[in-house]
Chains A and B, each alone.
Chain A
Amino acid sequence: NAGVTQTPKFQVLKTGQSMTLQCAQDMNHEYMSWYRQDPGMGLRLIHYSVGAGITDQGEVPNGYNVSRSTTEDFPLRLLSAAPSQTSVYFCASSRSGLQPQHFGDGTRLSIL
């Protein structure tokens, strides 16, 4: 089925480790974004991309890197994991504009 695919679904890291959260979409959407969802807070934008080769920072970018080498893929890298990055991470895409049309099912990340 067409949509946004995120891997892994669950991950436990130790403080200081690095990892990459994968996101892929097969709808040829130009806009892709990464959000984190924490209890008691709304979804917050981490980074976004308006097309291959173009990325920009969102509301909470510190500690994360992104790149967009193809239209389909938009990985999120944690450089040196910290307990404050324990969260559920969602990748989203849209045909036009930053308002998400399709979300992946999330990656649940715990940093010990």
Chain B
Amino acid sequence: EDQVTQSPEALRLQEGESSSLNCSYTVSGLRGLFWYRQDPGKGPEFLFTLYSAGEEKEKERLKATLTKKESFLHITAPKPEDSATYLCAVQAGETSGSRLTFGEGTQLTVNP
């Protein structure tokens, strides 16, 4: 059974204090790993897709990396508007029609 574990559950940072969120996974045949951002009362917003170990993607202050067992979402010099819950999901299997398994998320708070 595919499993996704995100840590920490919650993280408080000061503005400008860089840190990383972790997503560890156990799947048979990773097809893709996905990061989403979710603001309170809203649906998740797609951020990144990573397909193979060693791959990195960047968007503004966010950088996602992938190894064979985990993914990190690095946040550099965060701002209060980066406060949100960050979700990780993995897709295993041979086709793009395979289901995703989501983690529970990391709730990030950035204080000014």
Residues in A lying within 8 Å of B, measured CB to CB: 4, 40-45, 48, 50, 58-59, 90, 92, 96-106
Q: Is the interface of A mostly helix, strand, loop or mixed?
A: loop
Known contacts: A41-B104, A45-B99. The answer to whether A99 contacts B91 by CB under 8 A is yes
Q: Does B97 contact A (CB under 8 A)?
A: yes
Separation of A44 and B4 alpha carbons in the complex (Å): 12
Residues in B lying within 8 Å of A, measured CB to CB: 4, 32, 34, 41-46, 49, 87, 89, 91, 96-105
Q: Min CB distance, B53 to chain A, in Å? A: 18
Known contacts: A50-B97, A59-B99. The answer to whether A100 contacts B104 by CB under 8 A is no
- Residues of A within 8 Å of B96, CB to CB, are 96-99
- Residues of A within 8 Å of B34, CB to CB, are 99
Task: Please determine whether A98 and B42 come into contact, CB atoms closer than 8 angstroms.
Answer: no
Among all A-B residue pairs, the 5 with the closest Cβ atoms: A97-B96, A103-B43, A42-B102, A43-B102, A103-B44
Separation of A48 and B32 alpha carbons in the complex (Å): 19
- Residues of B within 8 Å of A104, CB to CB, are 43
> Across the two chains, which residue of chain A brings its CB closest to B101?
A42
- Residues of B within 8 Å of A45, CB to CB, are 99-100
Cross-interface CB contact of B43 among A41, A97, A105, cutoff 8 Å: A105
Separation of A43 and B103 alpha carbons in the complex (Å): 8
> Across the two chains, which residue of chain B brings its CB closest to A97?
B96
Known interface pairs A42-B87, A43-B87, A106-B41; 16 further A-B residue pairs with C-beta atoms within 8 A, sorted by A's residue number = A40-B104, A42-B4, A42-B101, A42-B103, A43-B89, A48-B99, A50-B97, A59-B99, A92-B43, A97-B91, A98-B97, A98-B100, A99-B49, A105-B41, A105-B43, A106-B43
Known contacts: A45-B99, A59-B99. The answer to whether A101 contacts B46 by CB under 8 A is yes
Cross-interface CB contact of B105 among A42, A48, A58, A99, cutoff 8 Å: A42
